[in-house]
Amino acid sequence: MATLAGLDTENSQLLAKCIEALKEEYSIKLQLEALPIKINKLRRRGRILDTKRRDNQTETSDLFLAYAKKGCLEFCRKVHQTFPREIRDVIYSYITGCQYVAIRSELKAWNHYNYFSSSHEAQLQHASESVDEDHWWNKDFVGAEMRREIGENYYRISCFEFGDEFENIPRFRVTDQWKLGFLPVDFVQKVEVSVTCDGSSFKRMDEAREQELPTDWGWDGYERGIILSTTTLMAHLELLFGFRPGTAISIKLKLDPYQEMSAFERQEFACENLVPLIFPTLQRLKNNGFKVRFILHASNSIPGTYHPNERNFTSAWCPRSVDELANDFFEYVEEQKKQDQRIALWEQEDELFGYE
């Protein structure tokens, strides 16, 4: 009897545990079934909170923007009242900050921008979704008068590089690209243009050393697949007269590598043959009040020991004659050769003493 009673007790305990396990399983099942409903409620709640957050964020941004506008306007007003224009221009130069600005057009196949979205437009890129321009170019922040002064400073201190795309010059001079209230030509003071001479053209030049340069000589045929005549080049240079007298104009002769001529030889040949061709135009520019100079730019691809990647000879402003420019050039060549010798000696010493 005692044994039977013990079995009944054990069975009762097992049954109770089974019932408890079923209850737990059923409870978990109910919780799992309820979870999607709770999750959907939480998602709806999350979307509501996110919408509220965005609305509040926009409102907060608007409040800060209004505060910033008032603060900037007041600060700029004090700057304008406190400092003379000369000091303000020093301040503006830190804002504009451009030394060289490339003006390029859609004519260059490898460029992904045209003139009206050229690289110098980077100075007016959007600062945020709610501000159309960087705040220092925005009259709502700095005031209309200071915005104009910043624009004037930008055009005065930057050197605008047109490369060999002379056709962009007329448009650039008279296009108020960002509605600043004036034309660039009224303030531009520094300009650089290039005459590109590729290797194939240099071969023709080399063959013409003892001859008169042909009028159909190719100036930049490699770049655009066309041959520009000397007459066309002279016509391009005439576009420089459209700037204001006093403008500093650099005419860069780009002398690409040619295997039979060193960088110095290419520069020398340009000095003896190309410079005299362009010099009358330089003289006319000088007589009309412009500052003009030549830059003989020769890239150097000689491998091995130290050699500069490029050599640049920059003439004095407004040289009085071709001979004066040539004398300065040969002085430059001698100094460069001495410098190359010094560098070669330093390299030998470094190698001798095991320096790297």
- Letter for the amino acid at 339? Q
- 129 and 230: one domain? no
**Is the domain of 234 the same as that of 152?**
no
Check residue 240 and give its pLDDT.
96
For the stretch 166-224, pLDDT in tens is 888 998 898 887 788 899 999 999 999 998 775 434 444 444 433 333 444 444 444 44
For residues 216 and 267, give the distance between their C-alpha atoms in angstroms, rounded to a whole number: 21
Residues 335 and 296 in one domain: yes
Residue 10, in any domain of the structure: no
* Torsion angle in degrees (nearest 10) through CA of 152, 156, 158, 163: 110
Does residue 196 share a domain with residue 145? Answer: no
Residues 153 and 204 in one domain: no
Q: Residues 176, 183: contact at Cβ < 8 Å? A: yes
Nearest to 99 by CA among 43, 47, 143, 156: 156
Residues 238 and 255 in one domain: yes
Out of 121, 153, 186, a domain closes at 186
Query: Can you give the pTM of this predicted structure?
Result: 0.69
Question: What is the predicted pLDDT for the residue at 72?
Answer: 92
Check whether residue 224 and residue 344 sit in a common domain.
yes
Burial grade of 202 (CB within 10 A; 0-12, 13-18, 19 or more): buried
257 with 272, same domain: the answer is yes
Cα-Cα-Cα-Cα torsion 137, 140, 146, 149, nearest 10 degrees, comes to 40
Give the pairing of strands 310-314 and 248-255. Answer: unpaired
Number of domains within the chain: 2
Q: Is residue 116 part of a domain?
A: yes
The predicted pLDDT at position 228 comes to 57
Residues 181 and 217 reside in one and the same domain: no
Domain boundary among 133, 151, 186: 186
Q: Is residue 7 part of a domain?
A: no
Q: Are residues 148 and 218 in the same domain?
A: no
Q: Do both 211 and 126 map to the same domain?
A: no
Task: Answer yes or no: is 252 within a domain.
Answer: yes
Mark whether 182 and 208 lie in a shared domain. Answer: no
Domain that holds residue 118: 87-101+109-163+177-186
Asked, for residue 143, whether it belongs to a domain, the answer is yes
Instruction: Name the stretches of the chain with pLDDT < 50.
Output: 107-131, 199-227, 303-307
Tell me, what's the pLDDT at 213?
39
Predicted local distance difference test score (pLDDT) of residue 200 = 37
